[in-house]
Structure 1
């Protein structure tokens, strides 16, 4: 897989799957735009990327849900590199919410970052992706058969991203732009830690959600992300690639 002279945008690049994907893209020669909200972690990932290929990434510390942020990502990437080849929509958030809540703020927040941001970034990047015959990789959750209380807003947002992947792939196929999704199983990232759980509670949640099967490392998921974004399978389009150790079947 060769990404030399190709420009890859990775959202959620300051930790987890986004960080691991950024480093692996760099090892394959890519020029990178990295977006994250934690400046210290983002800089640490950028250093690993530069160490891998000698090319300093463009780092943007942004809240992608803020007005103008998505446009800034595309504008600054084009100003720096003059092209976009791959967009990896990895930024995501998980909050506990329910229909019994007093308001739907949690639902709105989940839809905003997990669905609206990928839609908007894709829309804004599209003219440049058409020029390069590039592609988009979305990250969304495995469709577990087990329903867990409190994850309704998150699950809806990720189901929407799955539909977005399939329908946009059909829309963009005539333009030579591929759209695919990677569905990782439960992965050891900061997403549960950000729920302010204690260590014991977090471990219980990991085991409960994964049906006591293997929890993935971000580096394994990153390999799939980079593979899907590569030209190894040029007709891979509109696909949801599951990487979950069959845990969804239990």
Structure 2
């Protein structure tokens, strides 16, 4: 599989699944536009990608909760490469919260703006460009059993529904959109949320007892992302594909 001359925009590129996807697409010779709000992590990812692809990588430091910064990331990509073929939305956050918390609505606003609103905004900004290239969008959400926070689950479910709902409208322009719903993957998302090491280990151990008795690895996700982004998936749109070692079945 090759993405030579294909322009791939990846959000959440600085760490976790987003970083792994960037490295994989660099190996597949994609022309990369990487977006993250953490400038240091973004630079590290870009440097590795440039070594793998032997091509210049575009980076944009952006907080995708801010519409103007979403537009900037898209405009930078268009200016640098002249087109966009694939958008992979990996940026997102997790925050533990209880329905009894005094700051619940504040946490809700933060999670939904990061995990849903930013992707709606990105889709709005790239739709016309993708129509020109018959491109596609891949959203990274989560299986419902991955984390116990109701707000996080709500954001993932809403993203999957958005993907399915907007697929018909995008299909009329020749654009595909799909979601990938990973199970529990060992990334920095829990540490970033302030979850301590003991709790993280407990969650990973619990998830390891999935029907396939394993944790999902980033390579499990990136292989599916590459397939969905390729012409091999040209008849696939509007669906969510779990990569969870059977976690949702348990």
After TM superposition, the score normalised by the length of structure 1 is 0.94
1:1-250 matched pairs, under 5 angstroms: 1-103=1-103, 104-144=105-145, 148=148, 151-209=149-207, 211=209, 213-250=213-250
Q: CA deviation at 1:196?
A: 2.0
| Structure 1 residues 27 and 96: alpha-carbon distance in aligned structure 2, compared to 1, 3 A threshold | same
2-structure distance, mates of 1:152, 1:143: 9
- Say if 2:36 and 2:60, in contact at 8 Å, map to a contact too: yes
Unaligned runs of at least 5 residues, structure 2: none
In structure 2, what is the Cα distance between the partners aligned to 1:66 and 1:129? 21
Q: CA deviation at 1:214?
A: 1.4
Segments of structure 1 that go 5 or more residues without pairing to the other structure are none
- After superposing on structure 2, the runs of 4+ consecutive aligned residues of structure 1 that deviate more than 3 Å are 208-213
In structure 1, the residue corresponding to 2:50 is in which secondary structure?
A: helix
Residue deviations 1:81-114 (CA, integer Å, cap 9, x gap):
1100001011010001232222400000111010
TM superposition shift of 1:210: 5.2
CA–CA separation in structure 1 for the residues paired with 2:152 and 2:42: 24
The 1:30–1:77 alpha-carbon spacing in structure 2 relative to 1, beyond 3 Å, is same
Distance change in 2, residues 1:6/1:142 (3 Å): same
Q: CA RMSD in A?
A: 1.5
CA distance in structure 2 between the partners assigned to 1:147 and 1:22 by the alignment? 25
